[in-house]
């Protein structure tokens, strides 16, 4: 997945809705699958970022520490530059990497 993150464009891309709807047969069903996966990705990224930033947590609020902590800033910038969770989820869906099942098929 980390290799995939580097290859996904951060630019806006026009998508063919027929290709999105094809795996499920319904555009809205596909969007539900994609949005649920995007939520999972977002939660994972947020947990990773919080765990990395927790190393820098300080009980004392000192303005000098805030401005001098370059490593913390670089970590935050890295996560800001990463492709957004919905983009990653859509790519995974279109590549057939997401496993899903219909609720009525259970």
102 φψ region: left (φ > 0), alpha (ψ -120 to 50), beta (else) = beta
As for how many domains the chain has, the answer is 1
pTM for this structure?
0.76
Per-residue model confidence as pLDDT tens for the chain (106 residues): 444 555 666 677 899 999 999 999 999 999 999 999 999 999 999 999 999 888 776 666 666 666 557 888 888 899 999 999 999 999 999 999 999 988 776 5
* Domain region containing 36: 2-105
Distance CA 72, CA 30 (A): 37
């Amino acid at each position: 997945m980390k290799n995939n993150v580097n290859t996904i464009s951060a630019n806006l891309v026009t998508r063919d809705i027929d290709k999105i709807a094809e795996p499920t047969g319904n555009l809205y069903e596909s969007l539900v699958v994609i949005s649920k996966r995007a939520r999972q990705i977002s939660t994972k990224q947020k947990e990773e970022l919080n765990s990395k930033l927790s190393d820098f947590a300080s009980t004392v609020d000192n303005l000098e520490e805030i401005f001098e902590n370059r490593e913390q800033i670089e970590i935050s910038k890295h996560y800001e530059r990463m492709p957004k969770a919905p983009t990653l989820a859509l790519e995974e869906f279109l590549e057939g990497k997401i496993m899903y099942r219909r609720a009525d098929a259970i």
